[in-house]
Amino acid sequence: MTNNAAKLALIVACVTLAAVTLAAAPEKTSTSAQIVALDECDPLTFNAALGNDFCKNVALAPLGFATTLQDLFAKAAAGRPDQGWDFEPDTLKVKEGGTLFVSDQGGEPHTFTEVKQFGGGFIEGLNAGDRVVPECVGGFSTLDVAKTRIIQGRQTQVTGLSKGIHHFQCCIHPWMRVTVEVK
Ligand SMILES: [Cu+2]
């Protein structure tokens, strides 16, 4: 074999090996997943109604990225809730025994509450007529709801999920929803 032919054979072998490796790679399901809660609360109108420091100034309100408290309620009542309030991603897969790391990167508190079926939260005016789901009843006066609260800038973890489909929603802004498949 000439030197060039040997080099060519080596390159072909490497490319073939890479292709086989890629084809054989199984579908990847992680042992942990990152979820973020986002919102665009307008500090001026939220804090005037809900108290100082309720909404932190992370929405770049002066640049037009914030939603006033009045608009948030108006959009929800019209059945077109503000999509700036969101969990990302909306769907994900983790391995059994895995951990969900959920952080609140918005300006106000949220909850990450497991529910049997998606539905309304504990603030009637944000529910667009949906009934409050049993898991959210009573709001933060219910320990099980309070335990799922995530304060602005903080993180919570969910572990020990059984195999199957799990639904999580915010008990304040019920259109914030995540579906987790545990494999
Ligand atoms: Cu929320």
Confidence at 28, pLDDT banded by 50, 70, 90: confident
Could you tell me the two tokens for 80?
A: 């077109």
Helix (H, G, I), strand (E, B) or coil at 88: strand
Residue 61 reports pLDDT greater than 80: yes
Neighbours of 145 (CB within 10 A): 20
Amino acid identity of 47? N
Tell me how far the alpha carbon of residue 121 lies from the centroid of ligand 1, in angstroms: 9
Tell me how far the alpha carbon of residue 146 lies from the centroid of ligand 1, in angstroms: 13
pTM of the model: 0.84
Which CATH number belongs to the domain containing residue 139 in this structure? 2.60.40.420
Taking the C-alpha atoms of residue 93 and residue 182, their distance in angstroms, rounded to an integer, is: 6
Tell me how far the alpha carbon of residue 112 lies from the centroid of ligand 1, in angstroms: 8
Give residue 26's pLDDT.
Answer: 55
Per-residue pLDDT tens over the stretch 94-151: 999 999 999 999 999 999 999 999 999 999 999 999 999 999 999 999 999 999 999 9
Tell me how far the alpha carbon of residue 26 lies from the centroid of ligand 1, in angstroms: 35
Per-residue pLDDT tens over the stretch 156-175: 999 999 999 999 999 999 99
Asked whether the beta carbons of 110 and 37 are under 8 A apart, the reply is yes
Tell me how far the alpha carbon of residue 171 lies from the centroid of ligand 1, in angstroms: 7
Tell me how far the alpha carbon of residue 152 lies from the centroid of ligand 1, in angstroms: 10
Q: What range does the domain containing 147 cover? A: 3-182
The total number of structural domains that make up the chain: 1
DSSP 106-124: SSS-EE-EEESS--B-S-G
Cis amide bond preceding 89, omega within 30: yes
Tell me how far the alpha carbon of residue 39 lies from the centroid of ligand 1, in angstroms: 8
